């Protein structure tokens, strides 16, 4: 890949020289002569290759970030205002942090206390939790149970269920999630029926499609403002992202 990039840079340099060279001089130079001039210059100043590669990488990164920001702005309703999502913190908060998570994601479990800490410290923070079950059938089953609990109960029960299942050791799946439903005194039969509903299938499919449009490939992934933060980065980086949105 690096060789391909170097060739591309060489082609661009030649094209630039041909355009920048006065017409009379350009007519007297053929392609091989221009290539020789470029080659000699690069050999005499090899550091420009590294500089060019860094600049090319930075431009690509900026373009990707701008494209993501544009997609986030276009997906505000899906990100912030889906009735299927569990909302924590202040429902009328001035900043919303959206987390795409999987109940079987170890990094999500590590990030959970950080999100809880932010909610404790920031009375104006709103957190939207989006089920993004990408780590196998057990994850899909656990997400269906969680979504059923949300649909059948109140936000307090759904929040309690989320916290308990996220804090559970070992593999999350339908059996363990339904056992937790019983432990909490909820109606397991109703949950088992609801988790198979087309509506819940549609929520998961919608979340997966939304994540794909945003370019998300792992969990946890956080969306805040027009930025995406990937991974269990710790509480302070998330808090800093919240502050940045408030300052905009």
Tokens matching residue 216: 């998300």
Q: Report the alpha-carbon distance of residue 70 to residue 68 in Å, rounded.
A: 5
pLDDT at res. 43: 78
Q: Report the alpha-carbon distance of residue 76 to residue 82 in Å, rounded.
A: 10
Q: Which residue shows structure tokens 């999630």?
A: 177
| Average confidence (pLDDT) over 229-241 | 97
Closest CA to 38 of 59, 20, 57, 56: 20
Question: At 42, is the pLDDT very low, low, confident or very high (cuts 50, 70, 90)?
Answer: confident
Strand 125-131 to 95-101 pairing: parallel
Is residue 53's pLDDT more than 80? no
Strand partners, 126: 89, 96
pLDDT at res. 46: 78
Q: Report the alpha-carbon distance of residue 3 to residue 32 in Å, rounded.
A: 20
Share of the chain above pLDDT 70, in %: 86
Return mean pLDDT, the chain. Answer: 88
Q: Are 205 and 67 in contact (CB under 8 A)?
A: no
pTM of the model: 0.77
Can you say whether residue 241 is alpha, beta or left, with left for phi > 0 and alpha for psi between -120 and 50 degrees? alpha
Is residue 118's pLDDT more than 60? yes
52 Cβ contact list (under 8 Å, min separation 6): 9
Tokens matching residue 213: 């449009």
- What is the fold of 77-247? Glutaredoxin (3.40.30)
Tokens matching residue 100: 């795409």
What are the residue boundaries of the structural domains of the chain, listed by start? 2-74, 77-247
- What's the pLDDT tens digit per position in 67-97? 777 889 999 999 999 999 999 999 999 999 9
pLDDT at res. 123: 97
Burial class (CB in 10 A: 0-12, 13-18, 19+), 228: buried
Tokens matching residue 92: 């009328």
Angstrom CA distances, 212 to 101, 190, 201, 206, stand at: 14, 32, 17, 10
Strand partners, 86: 129
Handedness of CA 184, 189, 192, 194 (dihedral sign): negative
- What's the pLDDT tens digit per position in 159-173? 999 999 999 999 999
- The per-residue DSSP string of 168-221 comes to --S---HHHHHHHHHHTT--HHHHHHHTTSHHHHHHHHHHHHHHHHHT--SSSE
pLDDT at res. 9: 57
| Average confidence (pLDDT) over 203-222 | 96
């Amino acid at each position: 890949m690096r060789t391909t990039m170097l060739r591309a840079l060489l082609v661009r340099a030649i094209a630039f020289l041909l355009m920048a060279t006065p017409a009379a001089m350009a007519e007297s130079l053929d392609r091989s002569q221009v290539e020789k001039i470029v080659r000699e210059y690069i050999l005499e100043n090899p550091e420009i290759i590294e500089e060019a590669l860094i600049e090319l990488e930075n431009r690509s990164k900026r373009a990707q970030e701008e494209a993501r920001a544009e997609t986030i702005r276009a997906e505000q309703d899906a990100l912030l205002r889906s009735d299927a999502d569990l909302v924590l913190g202040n429902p009328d908060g001035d900043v919303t942090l959206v987390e795409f998570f999987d109940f079987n994601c170890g990094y999500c479990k590590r990030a959970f206390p950080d999100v809880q800490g932010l909610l404790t410290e920031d009375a104006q923070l709103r957190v939207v939790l989006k089920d993004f079950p990408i780590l196998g059938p057990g994850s899909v089953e656990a997400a269906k149970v969680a979504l059923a609990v949300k649909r059948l109960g109140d936000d307090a029960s759904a929040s309690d269920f989320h916290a308990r299942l996220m804090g559970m050791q070992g593999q999350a799946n339908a059996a363990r999630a339904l056992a937790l439903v019983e432990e909490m005194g909820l109606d397991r039969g109703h949950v088992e029926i609801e988790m198979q509903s087309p509506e819940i299938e549609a929520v998961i499919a919608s979340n997966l499609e939304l994540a794909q449009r945003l370019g998300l490939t792992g969990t946890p992934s956080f969306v805040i403002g027009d930025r995406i933060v990937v991974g269990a980065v710790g509480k302070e980086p998330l808090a800093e992202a919240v502050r940045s949105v408030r300052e905009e």
